[in-house]
Amino acid sequence: MKRIVTATVINQSGVLNRITGLMTKRQFNIESITVGHTEKEGVSKMTFVVNVDDNAKIEQLIKQLNKQVDVLKVTDITDQAIVVRELALIKVISNAQIRSEISGIIEPFRASIIDVSRESITVQVTGNSDKIEAILDLLRPYGIKEMVRTGITAFPRGSQKSVTDLKQYSILN
Amino acid sequence: MNMRAKAKPEAEAVTAEMTGADVLIHSLKKENVEVLFGYPGGAVLPIYDALYRSPIKHILSKHEQGSIHAAEGYARVSGKPGVVIATSGPGATNLVTGITDAMMDSLPLVIFTGQVASTVIGTDAFQEADIMGITAPITKHNYQVRDVQDLPRIIKEAFHIATTGRPGPVLVDIPKDVANKTISPDYDSTIHLPGYQPTFSPNILQIKKLADAVGAAKKPVILAGAGVLHANAGKELVAFSEKHRIPVINTLLGLGSYPGNHPLFLGMGGMHGTYTANMALYECDLLISIGARFDDRLTGNLDHFAIHATVAHIDVDPAEIGKNVPTQIPIVSDAREALKKLLEIESPLPDTEEWRKKLTQNSEDFPLWKKVSTTEFLPQRVVELVHEYTKGDAIITTDVGQHQMWAAQYYAFADANRWVTSGGLGTMGFGFPSAIGAQLAFPEQTVVSLTGDGGFQMTLQELSTLQELNLPVKVVIMNNQTLGMVRQWQEAFYEERYSQSLIPVQPDFVKLGEAYGIKSFKVTNEEEAKAVFEEAFSHREPVLIDCRVSGKENVYPMIAPGKGLHQMIGVKP
């Protein structure tokens, strides 16, 4: 099962190495990983998507990450109400004739064309992974020359009203 | 030319302006470091120059692996952090086995490695190695000092992290230019580690839960590991087990945390543990694990481990709880704190009489056994004789393998911190250097390096360190001219194809010891051994004894790989 885990870390050199190394050592498959600054100076946030077999395994991952000296907080936010965003850049084969057709396809996705050449256009789309999969499906028939995805970044919504099954990884309860 | 080192001048007063190297030495003094284990080289020349002006004792090994294993031995018996210095590149990479060993066995070490100058890091400079990358997975934490102003704080943090919570090795990498740079150090900078807040005291609700489970248990058992030793919780463990009449099993590394001669003691559990201990782990209805991490060599096949039991796990490291064995009562705490709380709490005492009767019966029916022979010199007898001649009160160090298991089975450690062995990593070559470190921590104690002919030859260059220090370490080589445990497994599981495990050609260990100026003996039977031990253990000087024991003995009983605790073989002669 896929889990979304975020970790706030002190922005020290080597911290990314320690964390990815730990995941390799403990045999966790990282599907995607994003890192960037947060509102606090010197603090970065990592968002991982990992594929695990069961809850015990994800609990172990969280505990191992928490043990790292430079890691401040680790949370599995999969089951919380969260905002998730990923960005994809998609270079689609397209000549002048079908440019407007593609433009029409991507419009409902609130994607935009950010580069145009004689043989291709580049589409930028943001959203959750499902949305990106959907637009990719629609564009694939035209021929995708190149595609990159950032991997997701996420955090809990300001209000947690829609929470259903809040996972608690405290071992004290 | 006069090659002798000049007499050391008096310790220099702390001046306003100091080099990074001086700051390091001064910080070590502030941490009450009494002895350093190290080896000089290009990138640590500034540090060794500062050391030259310092009264701190430095033990020069003959290989960096010798330094770090000695530091581990020192840390293991004293509880104080072992401090190691090595140069960049090969000096640092030679430490890797020892760092991993300390990580696996939770030993507090602070390791300082030199690094090439900041300006050339990343250019494949002479003697450059990415020791930060190499040691990231095998240290509790590591630092590279980029700004010399950070040095006092980093050293404080390094000692704090190494010695608190679950102890472990911390590495500090110091580029040569940082060590050379002059600053006015600020020793008042405080530790700021928001991401490192180890839990020390238990959650009282969880303690109550455990106390209730104890009260209701019919077949409770305690598994005590090295966490009990690290927390210095031996007394509390005895009090708790006696109050509730709960039998106690030790892990390999936990030996000595419970008196080996106590009537409630069932022996060591695991692959070569006692039948009684393993059957107790198999049949118990409440397993209280304290400071142990359910290593696969202890549990055997997890499908058969404590399957009827409610599992309570007290550990200072939350990540160990539930890692291998599902746990119903998790308690994150220092072992001593948890035991103290358990002793304070009012709870019904369990009725364990029937359970204990059964276990006693098991012990009587299936005791540890060994061959009796009038013609062969059996390796188990060496351990028993060492026990006899040291009155069971020596510090014993070992490598890994048959001799280690026999030492664990037959030495019956009565006290804590007498047992220095490489448990988790299983490092050959660990025992002899760690004996030197242990002896430095306790100069008055009898220290015996029980070693095999294989393991000893991996770090025997440290004989020269022993020669220089003239420490009364007794090196007892249980020489069976084989890599015994490899041979045993080849006999049991590879149809006696002894691939590369028989070593009939070996040095004359007596001559070897004598070459280093160490009194050396060879014994081939019990009578000779008794005479030599009598002599060796009555003098305070280093001795090497080459015990030519039978090469065909196997360690029993045994749980074969993949088998469960209840499937021991070799429980009877």
As given in the structure block, the two tokens for residue A148 are: 């990159």
What whole-number distance in Å separates Cα of residue B249 and Cα of residue B509? 37
Which residue's entry shows tokens 């290009």? B42
* Mean pLDDT (whole number) for B18-30: 96
Put simply, the answer to whether A171 touches B142 (Cβ < 8 Å) is no
Chain B residues touching residue A68 (CB < 8 angstroms): 141, 195
Catalytic (active site) residue B279: no
pLDDT score of A169? 45
CB atoms within 10 A of CB A95: 10
Q: What is the pLDDT of residue A173?
A: 35
Q: What is the pLDDT of residue A94?
A: 93
Full DSSP string of B61-129 = -SSHHHHHHHHHHHHHHH-SPEEEEE-TTHHHHTTHHHHHHHHHTT--EEEEEEE--GGGTTS--TT--
Over 80: is that where the pLDDT of A170 sits?
no
Cα–Cα distance for residue pair B215/A62, rounded to 1 Å: 33
Q: Between B505 and B8, whose confidence is greater?
A: B505
Does B161 reach chain A within 8 Å, measured CB to CB? Answer: yes
Helix H, strand E, coil C: the string for chain A is CEEEEEEEEECCCCHHHHHHHHHHHCCCEEEEEEEEECCCCCEEEEEEEEECCCHHHHHHHHHHHHHCCCEEEEEECCCCCEEEEEEEEEEEECCHHHHHHHHHHHHHHCCEEEEECCCEEEEEEEECHHHHHHHHHHHHHHCEEEEEECCCEEEECCCCCCCCCCCCCCCCC
**Catalytic entry in B103, B271, B485, B568:** B485
Burial category of A59 from C-beta neighbours within 10 Å (exposed 0-12, middle 13-18, buried 19 and up): buried
Q: Is the Cβ pair B195, A72 closer than 8 Å?
A: yes
Q: Which pLDDT score, from 0 to 100, does residue A137 have?
A: 96
Contact B203, B330 (CB under 8 A): no
B126 has catalytic annotation? yes
- pLDDT of res. A167: 46
Distance CA B6, CA B49 (A): 12
Mutate to test the interface with A, among B203, B316, B329 (most CBs of A within 10 A): B203
**A87 or B13: whose pLDDT is higher?**
A87
Whether B144 is catalytic? no
Q: Are the Cβ atoms of B319 and A22 closer than 8 angstroms?
A: no
> In this predicted model, what pLDDT tens digit does every residue of A69-123 receive, in sequence order?
999 999 999 999 999 999 999 999 999 999 999 999 999 999 999 999 999 999 9
Which residue type, as a one-letter code, is found at position A76?
D
B568: left (phi over 0), alpha (psi -120 to 50) or beta: beta
Does residue A14 belong to the interface with chain B, where contact is any CB pair within 8 Å? Answer: yes
Q: What is the mean pLDDT of residues B77-101?
A: 98
Residues of chain B with Cβ-Cβ distance to A63 below 8 Å are: 318-319
Strands of B401-539 (E only): list them: 419-420, 447-452, 474-479, 519-523
| Neighbouring residues of B124: CB distance < 8 A, sequence distance ≥ 6 | none
- Does the pTM surpass 0.90? The reply is yes
Rounded to whole angstroms, how far apart are CA atoms B141 and B103? 10
A17 CB within 8 Å of a chain B CB: yes
How far apart CA B390 and CA B385 sit, in angstroms, is 8
Return the number of CB contacts < 8 Å for A and B.
Answer: 55
- Which contacts (CB < 8 Å, 24+ apart) does range A94-99 have? A94/A119, A94/A120, A94/A121, A94/A142, A95/A119, A98/A142
pLDDT digits (tens, 9 = 90+) for B429-472: 999 999 999 999 999 999 999 999 999 999 999 999 999 999 99
Q: Is the pLDDT of residue B170 over 90?
A: yes
Percent above pLDDT 90 for chain B: 95
- Any B CB within 8 A of A20 CB: no
Can you give the residue ranges of every domain in chain A? Answer: 1-74, 82-152
pLDDT at residue B386 tops 90? yes
**pLDDT of res. B15:** 55
Would residue B127 show up in a list of annotated catalytic residues for this protein?
A: yes
- Asked if residue B246 lies in contact with residue B264, where contact means CB atoms within 8 angstroms, the answer is yes
- Angstrom CA distances, A103 to A86, A95, A108, B86, stand at 20, 12, 10, 63
Q: What is the mean pLDDT of residues B234-256?
A: 98
By the 8 A CB rule, do B351 and B219 touch? no
Q: What are the pLDDT digits (tens) for B25-49?
A: 999 999 999 999 999 999 999 999 9
Same fold, A1-74 and A82-152: yes
Bridge partner residues of B330 (DSSP) = B313
pLDDT at A123: 97
Q: Sign of the C-alpha dihedral, residues B255, B256, B260, B266?
A: negative
Is the pLDDT score of B162 beyond 50? Answer: yes
pLDDT reading at A172 higher than 60: no
Whole-angstrom distance, CA of residue B39 vs CA of residue B58: 9
Answer CATH for A82-152 from 3.40.50.880, 3.30.70.1150, 3.40.109.10, 1.10.1060.10 = 3.30.70.1150
The nearest CA of chain A is from the CA of B110 a distance in Å of 15
Neighbours of B408 (CB within 10 A): 27
Using pLDDT thresholds of 50, 70 and 90, give the confidence band for residue B290: very high
* The two three-digit tokens of residue A61, written as one number: 């991952």
The single-letter code of the amino acid at B36 is L
- Angle, to 10 degrees, between the axis of helix B204-216 and the axis of helix B335-344? 60
Using CB atoms, pick whichever of A14, A60, A70 lies closest to residue B319. A60
CB B77 within 8 A of CB B441: yes
Residue among B277, B280, B278 nearest B260 (CA): B277
Q: What is the mean pLDDT of chain B?
A: 96
Q: Does B197 touch chain A (CB under 8 A)?
A: no
CB contact under 8 A, B195 and A60: no
User: What's the token pair of residue B508?
Assistant: 């004359």
CA B319 – CA B335 distance, rounded (Å)? 15
CB B363 within 8 A of CB B265: no
Average pLDDT rounded to a whole number, residues A51-63: 93
A42 touches chain B (CB under 8 A): no
- How close B141 comes to chain A (CA, Å)? 7
Span of A46-50, B16-20, B93-97, B133-137 with lowest mean pLDDT = B16-20
What angle do helix axes B275-283 and B353-365 make, rounded to 10 degrees? 150
Q: Which residues of B touch A72 (CB under 8 A)?
A: 194-195
Measured between beta carbons, the chain A residues lying within 8 angstroms of B132 are 14, 17
Does B349 touch chain A if contact means CB atoms closer than 8 Å? no
Contacts of B323 in chain A (CB under 8 A): 60
**What angle separates helix B402-410 from helix B379-389, to the nearest 10 degrees?**
50
pLDDT value of residue B14: 54
In angstroms, what separates the C-alpha of A135 from chain B's closest C-alpha?
Answer: 40
Structure tokens at B58: 């430095």
Please pick, among B112, B128, B176, B553, the residue that the annotation labels catalytic.
B176
A38 touches chain B (CB under 8 A): no
List the single residue in A with minimal CA-CA distance to B326: A56
3-state secondary structure B231-261: CCCHHHHHHHHHHHCCCEEECCCCCCCCCCC
Q: Do A69 and B133 touch (CB under 8 A)?
A: no
How large a percentage of chain B has pLDDT more than 70? 97
How many angstroms separate the CA atoms of A20 and B382, rounded? 47
Q: In B341-414, where do the E strands start and end?
A: 395-397
Q: For residue A10, give the nearest of B195, B206, B332 by CB distance.
A: B195
CA-nearest residue of chain A to B204? A172
Number of H-type helices and E-type strands within chain B: 23, 20
Query: In the prediction, which pLDDT does A160 show?
Result: 79
Q: In this structure, which CATH number among 3.40.50.300, 3.30.70.260, 2.30.30.60, 3.40.50.720 belongs to the domain A1-74?
A: 3.30.70.260
Enumerate residues 6+ apart whose C-beta is below 8 A from A79. A163, A164, A165, A166, A167
| Structure token pair of residue B564 | 């469960």
From B461's Cα to the closest Cα of chain A, the distance in A is 33
Does residue A138 surpass a pLDDT of 50? yes
Residue B305's pLDDT band, with cuts at 50, 70 and 90, is very high
Residue in B64, B320, B337, B462 annotated catalytic: B64
Other beta carbons within 10 Å of A159: 8
Note whether A70 contacts B: Cβ–Cβ < 8 A: yes
Lowest-pLDDT choice from A15-29, B148-162, B509-523:
A15-29
- Report the SS3 class of residue B359: helix
What backbone torsions phi and psi does residue B266 show, to the nearest 5 degrees?
-100, -5
Is the predicted pLDDT of residue B512 greater than 80, yes or no? yes
